[in-house]
Amino acid sequence: MLGVGIGVLFLIAMDIVYVIGADSKYDNLELRMSLRSIARFGQNIGKVVVVGKPPLWLSDRVVKIPVKDKYVYKHSNILMCIEKVVELGIVNGDFLYSSDDHFYCRDVDFNNYPYYLKGPLRKEVNELDPFYSYHKSLCDTRMLCEKYGFPTINYSQHCNTHMHSEVIKDIRLILRESYGLPFGVEPTSIIMNAWQTFPNAPKVTKREDVKILQAKSLADIWEQIEDRDCFSIGDSALSGNAMMTFFKEEYAHKSIFEND
């Protein structure tokens, strides 16, 4: 199946694809702040695509692709949205996939953004695991990778992660198979592991990422971020004042991606 070779690509800029769910508890505040973060700190940004349920306040600088959720579990809906962007030819070659809760806090050149990995994919999960659905999806990602002879690495970093349009086209039947699994498969891991079987697959580097779940103060936030250029947050981090204050200080100005 994986017979398509991918040569070295010399891109002028890197496209970024955001997948947005149907409901936002904070009226898409996370997406707004994430876009402001790439506008402030990002270099060599190509197209910015928002697929799923794009909010009305997005400007014409954003490619907006409405796609309705079809599956119960979000991973399958994410993959479906990514497939749609590739199918429409909106992105070509290497691009970055982003969640709305990824925020940049230092200068970053997206055209030379590293290919990060986390570690091995899970082999098993306990039914009493409080994060059972997510961890089961990681196990099923490993199962599908083993079935098709892919490596079994976890690429689910809390930052933008690489994908490739030709890889996605080549494994479409495998992605469709994943939609039949109860919790889907982890999108970045299935695509990056498939990519590693291609000629000239990218070199990857391991990095500990950070997801801020509780923020006591601005100092606490920066202590958790340390020297990273990107971080993620959980919903619980928005329940206090510290993260909102961080947003007001770091991303105070309206970006080119917003109408209002």
Residue 40 lies in a domain: yes
Residue 6 lies in a domain: no
Return the closest-CA partner of residue 217 out of 241, 247, 192, 187.
Answer: 241
Residue 194 lies in a domain: yes
Tell me the pTM.
0.91
Structure tokens at 144: 């599908």
What does pLDDT average to over the chain? Answer: 92
Residue 212 lies in a domain: yes
Q: At what angle do helices 74-87 and 187-195 cross, to 10 degrees?
A: 50
Q: At what angle do helices 241-250 and 218-225 cross, to 10 degrees?
A: 70
Per-residue pLDDT tens for 33-90?
Answer: 999 999 999 999 999 999 999 999 999 999 999 999 999 899 999 999 999 999 999 9
Residue 65 lies in a domain: yes
Return the closest-CA partner of residue 225 out of 41, 85, 59.
Answer: 41
Mean pLDDT in residue range 161-184:
95
CATH of the domain at 68: 3.90.550.10
> Are residues 101 and 236 in contact, defined by beta-carbon separation less than 8 angstroms?
no
Please count the structural domains in the chain: 1
Q: Residue 167 is inside which H or E element, if any?
A: helix 165-170
Residue 138 lies in a domain: no
Per-residue pLDDT tens for 110-152?
Answer: 999 999 999 999 999 999 999 999 999 999 999 999 999 999 9
Residue 194 reports pLDDT greater than 60: yes
**Distance from C-alpha of 63 to C-alpha of 38, rounded to nearest angstrom:** 16
Structure tokens at 153: 């690495």
Mean pLDDT in residue range 177-197:
96
Q: In what order do the strands lie in the sheet with 211-212?
A: 102-104, 230-233, 211-212
Q: Where are the alpha helices (DSSP H) in the chain?
A: 29-41, 74-87, 132-147, 165-170, 172-178, 187-195, 218-225, 241-250
Question: What are the distances in angstroms from CA 47 to CA 7, 12, 83, 185, 207?
Answer: 22, 11, 17, 26, 26
Q: What was the pLDDT predicted at 200?
A: 86
Return the closest-CA partner of residue 246 out of 39, 140, 104, 109.
Answer: 104
> Are residues 36 and 255 in contact, defined by beta-carbon separation less than 8 angstroms?
yes
Residue 258 lies in a domain: no
Mean pLDDT in residue range 170-182:
95
Residue 149 lies in a domain: no
In terms of residue numbers, what domain contains 102? 14-116+156-250
